[in-house]
Structure 1
């Protein structure tokens, strides 16, 4: 099986060089992606493929159920590198319908360490219980929960000191939330984009509110 994988790699490498001589030399010289993608580890949702992007065009972090933990040093390190070194312009938190992590978070079954990792999704399920109950079937509830998990992730990325520091320095970085459908291969904008001006406005309002108390 491994030899088959290596042979497929050799075929791919030769075809890329035939199609575009010097491709690997250019790719090796630098990377300048415009996007930082926070996505699910699911093998059916590779960022480059579903977004139609070539290697070098998107910097990627993936984990089970695309959860944004404020204490996840792996994600935070990737975010910091993407923002401060690669100077990305757009950050995308992308979930997908039919997510196994979301399914596990809604089951009354043990899943080992995943139970700790998925706690933010269970918390979202409890908080939005009345909204989720409006969906008649379990699949519909889980798909809506996958959307809510993305929206929560966008907000959590925006709240990191990394993003606050970048925005204060004048970086024009937007954070978007997308959801991917395995059934038709399409990405959908959840319209929860956060821009630098959104944070400045909300911070000012929060400060004024505290001052008036």
Structure 2
């Protein structure tokens, strides 16, 4: 089996060279045999991306160093092109950007590299405040996400808070695996608790349907966790915003699914126990 690794060609464009691939699965072999000749080619001088395999075990230190330098330089080349394109489209773009931010949206999403929040929502820099972690969790003892929520609500005055999960989430699947995950155990326990709360429903499902439903339920529970915060409750009581939404992204069609999270109904239910507005 062969894998193509990048190298620098003439004219400044990245092409590929062929190197041995470590032994893979039969399904991978079949994909390689049936793939078109340029299937794994990647032009690293552009921001476009095509399906490719991960880099195999290095054949030499020199090849690794070359690849690392190319993948590093590519970012700065792309950044320069992006800056030039933005200036052409809107000359005052960076002047406006440097003046400050006033986003309408707070996005709490998964760290998965395949979900660029601004790209899939069609928003520009400055329109969305973003926090990401494994499996898009909102944990009340995670100072990182709690600080983000507080700053976004109290200082940026966002109008919408979106918790966005995605089908095929590795964190959700890991949480459903009966195995010691080491350092990940306390983090994944939050997802396992979601499973426990909805075990009767989930136990009637199998395979991907079960994973997909847990992804949705996890998003729903994280939306509830957002509403439990003092910042959200107090800002809503005063201004009737922000509104909390639960969405799921699908890799198969690139579309966002609105789970129709009932912000006001859930807030009323939650405040029977978690009311943080009495002294506000």
Please say if residues 34 and 58 of structure 1, whose CA atoms lie closer than 8 Å, have aligned partners that are also in contact.
yes
1:29-108 equivalent positions in 2, closer than 5 A = 29-108=99-178
TM-score, with length taken from structure 2: 0.69
Equivalent residue, structure 2, for 1:176 = 245
1:132 Cα deviation from its structure 2 partner: 1.2
- What secondary structure, in the 3-state scheme, does the structure 1 residue paired with 2:251 have? coil
1:176–1:194 CA contact under 8 A, matched in 2: yes
Confirm or deny: 8 A CA contact 1:174 1:193 kept in the other structure. Answer: no
Report Cα offsets for 1:44-101 as digits up to 9, x if no partner.
Answer: 1121111111111110111000011011111111111111111111111110000010
Q: Is the 2:228–2:270 Cα contact (8 Å) retained in structure 1? A: no
1:26 maps to 2:96: yes
Cα RMSD between the aligned structures?
Answer: 2.0
Matched, 1:199 2:263: no
Structure 2 gaps, min length 5 = 1-70, 276-280
Structure 1: tracts of 5 or more residues without a match: 208-213
Q: Could you say which residue in structure 2 is the equivalent of 1:210?
A: none
Structure 2 Cα separation of the partners of residues 193 and 165 of structure 1? 18
- Which residue of structure 1 lines up, in the alignment, with residue 226 of structure 2? 157
Give the number of aligned pairs: 205
Does residue 10 of structure 1 match 2:80?
yes
Q: CA deviation at 1:18?
A: 1.4
Deviation at 1:198, TM superposition (A): 5.6
Q: 1:78, 1:189 → 2: CA distance?
A: 23
Partner of 2:246: helix, strand, or coil? strand
Q: Distance in 2 between matches of 1:201 and 1:130?
A: 22
Structure number with larger C-alpha Rg? 2
Q: Quick one: higher RCO (CA 8 Å, sep 6+), 1 or 2?
A: 1
TM-score normalised by L of structure 1: 0.89
Determine if the alignment matches structure 1 residue 143 to structure 2 residue 180. Answer: no
- Secondary structure class of the residue paired with 1:148: helix
Q: 1:182 to 1:161 in 2, by over 3 A?
A: same
Say which structure is richer in helix. Answer: 1
